Amino acid sequence: MLITGSRLVNAPVMGLQTGSELARTKKAIIDPKKLEIIAYELEGPLLDEDPSLLRIADVREFSDIGLIVDSSDEFVGVEDIIKLKEIYDINFTPIGMTVIDEKRQKLGKVDSYTIETGAFLIQQLLVKRPLLKSLNDTQLLIHRTQITEINDDEIIVHSQAEIPEPALEVMRHSYTNPFRKSQQAEQIHQSNRQQ
């Protein structure tokens, strides 16, 4: 299931043992190499450590009521897991990053993203266009497969392939609407009726 990343910020974390809210998500901890959410930083009065993290591997399920875990024993500190600490210290978020293509043309800035909740991978980036380019289209949807590089300042995506004009003409004339009868078929049908 695809959902917006903002839907999982300030989302309740529910305990299966107690059936109550244990904490709320504060922000996503994202691995920039894979565009994968590996944990959520938590906030709430019942937490033992600050910051406390919930690894995605410890989430039993995501539902309408929030993220469901077995108990608060699933929460870890930043220092508890070395790989988690490394990614936490990077403090990566795609929101607000500049998106450019391989030809160094600015496409806009990341406004939000969508997550596939099965693996908690960022699937798409919603890019808000610069003012002049927003006259045609206000937002772009960039799929993760279009991303070629992520550095400290920018997200670089494949340049859009330019189709030569004659190829566009061929495409326009070869397209047939399957829901509309062609004129030739209609003429044949009428001539058969007249005979």
Task: At 62, give phi and psi (nearest 5°).
Answer: -110, 130
- Tell me the domain boundaries of the chain: 2-90, 98-157
Can you tell me the distance from the alpha carbon of 101 to that of 110, in angstroms, rounded to the nearest whole number? 13
Q: What pLDDT is recorded for position 13? A: 95
Residues 2-90: name the CATH superfamily. Answer: Photosynthetic Reaction Center, subunit H, domain 2 (3.90.50.10)
Which tens digit of pLDDT belongs to each residue from 36-78? 999 999 999 988 888 999 999 999 998 889 999 999 899 999 9
Which tens digit of pLDDT belongs to each residue from 118-168? 889 999 999 998 776 655 667 888 999 999 999 988 999 987 643 344 444
Can you tell me the distance from the alpha carbon of 98 to that of 42, in angstroms, rounded to the nearest whole number? 27
Q: What pLDDT is recorded for position 194? A: 56
- From the number of C-beta atoms within 10 Å of its C-beta (0-12, 13-18, 19+), residue 25 rates as buried
CATH topology of domain 98-157: SH3 type barrels. (2.30.30)
Q: What pLDDT is recorded for position 126? A: 93
The chain-wide mean pLDDT, for the chain, equals: 82
Residue 82 has pLDDT above 50, yes or no: yes
Work out the percent of the chain whose per-residue pLDDT is above 70.
78
Range from 3-7, 23-27, 155-159, 182-186 carrying the lowest mean pLDDT? 182-186
Range from 80-84, 103-107, 173-177 carrying the lowest mean pLDDT? 173-177
Q: What pLDDT is recorded for position 118? A: 87
Residue 109 has pLDDT above 70, yes or no: yes
Does this chain's domain 2-90 share its CATH topology with 98-157? no
H or E, element range at 23: strand 21-31
Q: What pLDDT is recorded for position 46? A: 86
